[in-house]
Structure 1
Amino acid sequence: MQFPSLKKAITGATVALAVLASSPTFAQSGPAYDDTGKAKAFPGIPSGTVEAMGGEEGIRSWVEALFHYILLDYRIAPTFREFGNIERQIALNTQLVQRVLGGNVEYMGASMSAAHSDLGITMTEFNAVVEAAYNACDRVNFHYYHCNQIIAGLAPFTFQIVTE
Structure 2
Amino acid sequence: MFMHTDDKIRTVENIDPYISAEIPNIHEDPDLYSLVKEFMIHGPCGAENMNSPCMVDNKHSKKFPKKISNQTSVDADGFPIYRRHDDGSVVDKSGVKLDNRNVVPYNKNLLKRFQAHINVEWCNQAGSIKYLLKYINKGPDRATVEVAQTNNEDDNAEQVDEIKDFYNRRYLSASEAT
Superposition TM-score, scaled by structure 1 size: 0.27
**Larger strand share, 1 or 2:** 2
* Structure number with larger C-alpha Rg: 2
**Larger helix share, 1 or 2:** 1
